[in-house]
Amino acid sequence: MASDHAVDVTTDHAAEIDKYVRIYITVFVALMVLTIVTVAVSRFHLPLPVAVSVALLVATIKGSLVACYFMHLISEKRLIIAILALTVFFFIALVALPVITVHDGFWMRG
């Protein structure tokens, strides 16, 4: 009787591990495809703003995949996600700050 329970637990555990391995392999394949997309886009010689935009979009997707699955943030509590969202907000604000202030001539004064 006890051995039947041990077999069931082992089988359930193995099925759960197989599920996570499939997820990790899928994420790995997605990362490789996005890397190929990045290299392919670099060969098109797009205008600089378009090339940078595409590169940042692909990097954001790849970074999100790594953070969500390999760093296990996809199953975290709301507080962790809120702190991560706040960090992303401030990062975007700090990156956008030079773009916003360059048009008002603040950096041209001297």
pLDDT tens readout for residues 20-37: 899 999 999 999 999 999
Mean local confidence (pLDDT), 38-53: 88
**Residue/partner pairs of 44-47 with CB below 8 Å, 24 or more apart:** none
Q: Is-contact 73 30, C-beta < 8 A?
A: no
Rounded to two decimals, what is the model's pTM? 0.63
According to the model, what pLDDT value does residue 105 have?
63
Q: Write the DSSP assignment of 47-97 as a string of letters.
A: -HHHHHHHHHHHHHHHHHHIIIIIS-GGG--HHHHHHHHHHHHHHHHHHHH
Same domain? For 42 and 17 the reply is yes
Are 99 and 50 within one domain?
A: no
Is 17 buried (19+), middle (13-18) or exposed (0-12) by CB count in 10 A? Answer: exposed
How many domains would you assign to the chain?
Answer: 2
Residues 68, 89 share a domain: no
Across the chain, mean pLDDT equals 83
Interval 55-70 mean pLDDT: 91
- Regarding whether 61 and 17 lie in a shared domain, the answer is yes
> Do 60 and 7 sit in the same domain of this protein?
yes
Print the domain residue range for 7: 1-73
- From 84, 96, 90, select the one nearest 56 (Cα to Cα): 96
Confidence of residue 49 (pLDDT cuts 50, 70, 90): confident
pLDDT of 104 > 70? The answer is no
Q: In this structure, are 45 and 92 located in the same domain?
A: no
